[in-house]
Structure 1
Amino acid sequence: MSHTLSLQAIRPLTHNVQELTFDRPDGYEFTPGQATDFALDRDGWREEKRPFTFTSLPDAEHLQFTIKSYPSHDGVTEQIGMMKAGDGVIIEDPWGAIEDKGPGTIIAGGAGLTPMLSILRARQASHGDLDGYRLIFSNSREKDIILREELERMPGLALDLLLSEEDTQGTHHGQIDADYLDGAGLDFSETFYLCGPPPMEEDVSTLLAARGVSEDRLVREH
């Protein structure tokens, strides 16, 4: 079922990531980690649907998305980044396999943070802290880190920030490779969450499988 939403507010989070807040249709329900197919409500764009994750709390009065613009892609996210209050979008019913399955290690790359952000926010709201959760968040440069201050303030969350192209204070320089995983003090018998660019997901899932992380303990989209 399709729903037409009106943009209430848009604010920049980084140089290429926007937070968009919309009105919420009556009775529209989702669970943390889920996404929807999203299109601009304008001529020539309504069939250009893209998946985006909800980053608002499930019981919030509004719907919120955190969207990274890719000007070099097909133009949809670039258009989204230029939206103004009052502009319309069309969303479908929620879907997705990513959900909160309890404490564990979250591995996210870039905009792959968004389903995990929803899970972390909801867990903090319901439990008061994030004890037992660890977030390994990989980006290219420091300016690419989405909502760093919010993540650093989350009570109980163990946060590891990795940068592949910069070496700055408070971050680890490198990638999520075999050496990193083996030296990070991880418990490979626990639950792992994974979301990021497809090549990264493929590499990391292979590395985790080699370390005994079975499919039933790996939360990701399939």
Structure 2
Amino acid sequence: MKNNHVVKVLKAQFITHDVKSFVVEKPIGYDFVPGQATEISINQPKWKNEKRPFTFTNLKESNYLEFMIKIYKDRNGVTDELGRINAGDELILHDVFGTINYKGPGVFIAAGAGITPFISIFRDLYKNNQIYGNRLIYVNKTSEDVIMGNELRKMLKNNFINFYTRENVVGFQGKRIDRNFLIENIVDFSQNFYVCGPEDFVKTITKILLDLGATADAIVIEN
């Protein structure tokens, strides 16, 4: 059975130049596993049937829900409209789904907004003192695109690797993430890997990891 929940937006603000955080009411009994997502639509006649998947970024025990959504202003679509949504407006939440679940320490590899499923996982691990043994390789075009960089650095410390593809910043990588980079930065390919980002990125990284000896069972991606 499909369950729809109309929720009020409690807070909405941009956290980067094109990513907006939404804090919304949490329906009674609404639960998720860190890494999971739901489909969201805007509770307005024109938009309520336009559903898009977004990941929860809050701790599961919070009394609210949070989403960090990349706004595409040039597409005249749902995210462009979400860019205009503010506190007091209403969204519609649908069923919870998602296959990115934490199964033990490993290397997280994210591109752009692909970091969002990992934020809830890291927050949960950090709160429970279980984040040790995890590393994050986070790929963005420029430093301005990094989502929650300060918090990720605080949680992961030296196990947080920033990687920029369009910008040469002193002390940071400035190229495409490739086989050589993974060989240089990952010693053990028998551990768990969590990969999220654009479809081509996930396919490319997954193929390289398999070529380097990772097992398909140990690679967690969104199916």
TM range (shorter): over 0.9
How far residue 179 of structure 1 moved from its aligned partner, in angstroms, is 1.4
Q: 1:65-84 to 2 correspondence within 5 Å?
A: 65-84=67-86
TM-score between the two structures when normalised by the length of structure 2: 0.96
User: Could you tell me which residue of structure 2 aligns to residue 14 of structure 1?
Assistant: 16
Partners of 2:135 and 2:156 within 8 A in 1: no
- Provide the rounded CA distance (Å) in 1 between the counterparts of 2:158 and 2:217: 23
Q: Secondary structure at the match of 1:93?
A: strand
Q: Secondary structure at the match of 2:97?
A: coil
Matched, 1:137 2:152: no
How far residue 157 of structure 1 moved from its aligned partner, in angstroms, is 6.1
Q: Deviations over 1:107-166 (max 9, x none)?
A: 00000000011100011112x252100000000011001111111111556011000000
- Provide the rounded CA distance (Å) in 2 between the counterparts of 1:25 and 1:185: 41
- Provide the rounded CA distance (Å) in 2 between the counterparts of 1:55 and 1:29: 13
User: Could you tell me which residue of structure 1 aligns to residue 212 of structure 2?
Assistant: 211
- Provide the rounded CA distance (Å) in 2 between the counterparts of 1:141 and 1:100: 28
Q: 1:77-116 to 2 correspondence within 5 Å?
A: 77-116=79-118
User: Could you tell me which residue of structure 1 aligns to residue 123 of structure 2?
Assistant: 121
TM-score between the two structures when normalised by the length of structure 1: 0.96
How far residue 204 of structure 1 moved from its aligned partner, in angstroms, is 0.6
- Provide the rounded CA distance (Å) in 1 between the counterparts of 2:168 and 2:199: 24
- Provide the rounded CA distance (Å) in 2 between the counterparts of 1:129 and 1:156: 14
Q: Deviations over 1:85-117 (max 9, x none)?
A: 111111112100001111100000000000011
User: Could you tell me which residue of structure 2 aligns to residue 43 of structure 1?
Assistant: 45
How far residue 82 of structure 1 moved from its aligned partner, in angstroms, is 1.6
User: Could you tell me which residue of structure 2 aligns to residue 189 of structure 1?
Assistant: 190
Instruction: Report how many aligned residue pairs link the two structures.
Output: 221
Q: Secondary structure at the match of 2:138?
A: strand
Q: Deviations over 1:166-198 (max 9, x none)?
A: 011342111221111111133100000000011
- Provide the rounded CA distance (Å) in 1 between the counterparts of 2:57 and 2:147: 12
Partners of 1:113 and 1:195 within 8 A in 2: yes
Q: Secondary structure at the match of 2:10?
A: strand
State the percentage of identical aligned residues.
37
- Provide the rounded CA distance (Å) in 1 between the counterparts of 2:186 and 2:98: 30
Q: 1:136-215 to 2 correspondence within 5 Å?
A: 136-155=137-156, 158-215=159-216
- Provide the rounded CA distance (Å) in 2 between the counterparts of 1:78 and 1:211: 40
Q: Secondary structure at the match of 2:124?
A: helix
Question: Runs of 5+ in structure 1 lacking a partner?
Answer: none
Partners of 1:161 and 1:170 within 8 A in 2: no
Question: Runs of 5+ in structure 2 lacking a partner?
Answer: none
- Provide the rounded CA distance (Å) in 2 between the counterparts of 1:212 and 1:94: 33
- How well do the aligned residues superpose, as a CA RMSD in angstroms? 1.2
Distance change (3 Å), C-alpha of 1:93 and 1:57: same
Q: Secondary structure at the match of 1:168?
A: coil
- Provide the rounded CA distance (Å) in 1 between the counterparts of 2:171 and 2:116: 22
